[in-house]
Amino acid sequence: MKKLFLALIGLTMSWVVSAETYDVFGTYQAGDEYSGEVVFRIDDGKSASFSNEHVQSFIVAISKKSETQVLLNLDFKSGAYQSDAAVLLDLDQPAKFNFGEQIFTFTVRKHAS
């Protein structure tokens, strides 16, 4: 039983150590009235959010897919504009997405400690 308990602690600690942290740099434009920039630091499998007087909700979640790619989930609400998308992104490469009058640009990098 003691060996099983120690093995479980070891597995848990290795998972914590191996979790990646990412820096997400983004811009958004929703029509002519809403635009801005966001910067998030997000751990793998977690999400971060932003809101202000113009943006009701801007939530970004990151999941590691490989050493060079992440899955980015985006949930954006501002006035009459709303977007919900999941996209596979290459790390360190800017990506631009157009959803009607909404434009999002993201660059995701591994966080350097």
Mean of the pLDDT values across residues 52-76?
Answer: 92
Is residue 50 domain-resident? yes
More confident: 2 or 67 = 67
User: Of 2-6, 23-27, 28-32, 34-38, where does mean pLDDT reach its minimum?
Assistant: 2-6
| Residue 105: pLDDT over 70 | yes
CATH number of the domain enclosing 82:
2.60.200
Is residue 96 domain-resident? yes
More confident: 7 or 42 = 42
User: Domain total for the chain?
Assistant: 1
| Residue 60: pLDDT over 70 | yes
Please say whether the beta carbons of 56 and 82 come within 8 A: no
Is residue 8 domain-resident? no
Is residue 98 domain-resident? yes
Could you tell me the residue range of the domain that residue 53 belongs to?
21-110
More confident: 21 or 79 = 21
Please say whether the beta carbons of 104 and 96 come within 8 A: yes
What is the number of other CB atoms lying within 10 angstroms of the CB of residue 69? 14
pLDDT of residue 19: 79
Is residue 92 domain-resident? yes
